[in-house]
Each structure stands twice: as C-alpha cells, then as structure tokens.
Amino acid sequence: MRRTTTLRTALSALLLLGTWVTASALPASAAESPARSPQAPASPGLLDAMQRDLGLTRDAAEARLAAERKATATERKAREAAGSAYGGSWFDAERGRLTVAVTSDTVTDSVRDTGAAVRLVRHTARQLDAAKATIDALSAPAGVGSWHVDPKANKVVVNVVAGHRDDNDVRAFLARAREAGPVTVRQTPAAPRTFAAGTVGGDPYYTGNVRCSIGFSVHGGFVTAGHCGSPGSAVYGWDRSYVGTFQGSSFPDNDYAWVNVGSGWWTVPVVLGWGTVPDQLVRGSAEAPVGASVCRSGSTTRWHCGRVLAKNETVNYSQGAVHQMTKTSVCAQPGDSGGSFISGDQAQGVTSGGWGNCSSGGETWHQPVNEILNRYGLRLHTA
C-alpha cells in the first residue's frame, strides 16, 4: 500500500485533472462522500451537465430523472403484459412516461395498467430483431455506418454515411437488407470511429501508446473498452504507476474488456466530480429505455449529456462490425474510450466510439455494462 501522504497527493492531482475515476489510487475514505437519501436522483455534477447539454432547468432535470426511473421500472412489467405482441418501447420525454408498441389491441388494457402509454404497430420486436440479425450476417461496406431496430418507427434503420447512398456497394447492401424485413434508410454525417488516443500526459490510464478512460469499478478491477488493449497488456494509471493487466478483451464483434486492479490501487463505487467532492453515483445497472437521458464522463471531454437514441445497434467500424451497441446523442473525442455512461445513478455502459466532437456535436455508442458483467462473471461495485 502507498503511504497516506502519497495517496493524498494522488487525490489532489486527480481532482485537478478532473478525471472520471471508478478504480484508482484513492484512499478508502474517498468513498465516504456526504450521505444522500437513497431516493436522491443524482449528484450536483450530473444535474449541472444535464442542464448544460439538454437545456433543462435544475427542477426539470430532477423531474426527468424521476420519470425515467419510473419508466425503467415499468418497462419490464409492460413487456410481460404485452407478451408475444410486444413491439418495443421508448421513453417519451415530452409526456414523461414510457410508450410501449404492441401488435394487438387485445393487450392494450393490460399494458396501460402498468402505467405505460400504448401504440399499435405492425411488426413485433421479435420480427424486427430477426430482420436485424439477418442484416448482421451481411458484409457491410464502409459507406454504411450502422443499423438498429427503431421501435418508434417499427422498422430496422440503416444509417448511411453522407454522400455514399448512391455507391454501388451501398445500394447492393440496402437491397439485401430490405429482403430481410421492414427497413428504412437514414443519413449519418460521418463514419463511426473508436475514441482511443495516443499517449498524452496527465490522464487516467495507459496501455502501450494508447490512452483510454476507466469505466466502472467491479469487484477486483474495472471495465472499459475492448479496443483499448488486448489480454495480458499492462495498464498504468494517470501517474504511470502499474495498475494491473487486461484480463479479458473483445474487439471487434464486441467492444468490452476488464482490467484487474492491484499494486496499491483500490476499486471504489464513486466518481470524482470535476473539481467537486466525490459523489456516490453508482448504485446499480438498471438499463434506461430509448429516449431517456444519459451522461458520459471521459478523460478528454469530461461530463456531457444527451439521450439514448437506439439499442442493439450494429456499428460498422473500419476494424469490423461491433454488435449490440447503444447509440446516444452524447458527444465524445479521442481518449474518452472506455469511460462511463450513466443514467441517474445507474451504470449503463462504456464508451466505444462515434462521430463528431464536443465542439460541433456528434453521436456516441456505448457497450452495455450488463453484457460485460455477464460475459466475464463480474460484479459491479456499487455504493
């Protein structure tokens, strides 16, 4: 273990850097932030970011988080009530409630009884998922950015990079995709890319010549993005001291990894606010619905917020396709890879990649955290 004085120095430096830290050289007392009610929706830092990025007042941000918590709890019950007629669901921010698509009016009353609004659609979620799975088996050209099931549109959306829709290989891909089921085509401004970065001094962790961001603490280590390192790669902290090694990693196809933590480093279920006191934010990993607000923290661009745009999207990076990703309207930049996506106090996923930046805007995908936990048999470290 490092001396207390060294740890205090590390903590001070981390506060100055403003790094999202869930597994770092912090004293055990760092987890002892001021007590909050178990019903408290979020930290001041999260609320501030939502006000800045979503254009909300503080009261509106708190009300939205409360409505999203209710929608998250409702989603499972509503899906059970819909049964085989379930067509997907999303959070309607304007109405502040969950909307559930169904293919039969015989289940509408049962679904409404759960507290959800109902919309009749043509295709079930199972049919749409099957169509997407067929498209997943195709070889996508570089002009195709991604594809996902959109429950609101009740179709599979294929996102084509601007200026490439008339490419012969893109047209051929779209023709085969339409044979799989109901497809609609949308335009995306740029091709997706991962957000790893070359070595830059003073940021959270390094492996080789790559800088990435820590995701969430698990018992024994932390989770992060798979493209940041391969199994056995050594990981060094912001101060270049040894942390551990990548114990598991998958990219492409997936984009997840986990790193064991030792050598005097701790895992704690907290994050450091940017220049503020630590907040006990991570209390679970309940998955937020499409339309819900979500915030991201990373070593390059700090806190930014947006909305969940789509789930189970296949992203066509230059290195290969990555499946079952969640798309958001949150911006990110190189070095943010692996960082935390959180909704309220619930862990959502680790930053993978996207397009754009935090000056002009963009979209970012994250790898859902529950998939990572299940894949490696890990347990999220919660407050």
Active site residues per annotation? 227, 255, 337
Place of tokens 């800045």: 52
Asked if the bond preceding 252 is cis, omega within 30° of 0, the reply is: yes
Tell me the residue type at 294: V
- Whether 185 and 352 have beta carbons less than 8 Å apart is answered as no
CA distance 206 to 31: 24
CA distance 345 to 61: 13
- Whether 149 and 129 have beta carbons less than 8 Å apart is answered as yes
CA distance 130 to 142: 23
- Whether 342 and 215 have beta carbons less than 8 Å apart is answered as no
Nearest to 182 by CA among 207, 226, 150, 228: 150
DSSP secondary structure, 13-43, as one string: HHHHHT---SEES--GGGG-PPP--TT----
Helix 58-82 to helix 44-54 angle (10° resolution) is 90
| Mode of pairing for the β-strands spanning 256-260 and 266-267 | unpaired
13-49: b (≥16 Cβ within 10 Å) or e: ebbebbbbbbbbbbbeebbebeebeeeebbbebbbbb
Helix (H) or strand (E) holding 56: none
Question: How many residues in the chain?
Answer: 383
Contacting residues for 21 by C-beta, under 8 A, at least 6 apart: 14, 204, 214, 270, 271, 272
Tell me the residue type at 45: G
Cα–Cα–Cα angle for 118, 119, 123, rounded to 5 degrees: 125
Which residues are registered as beta bridge partners of 256? 250
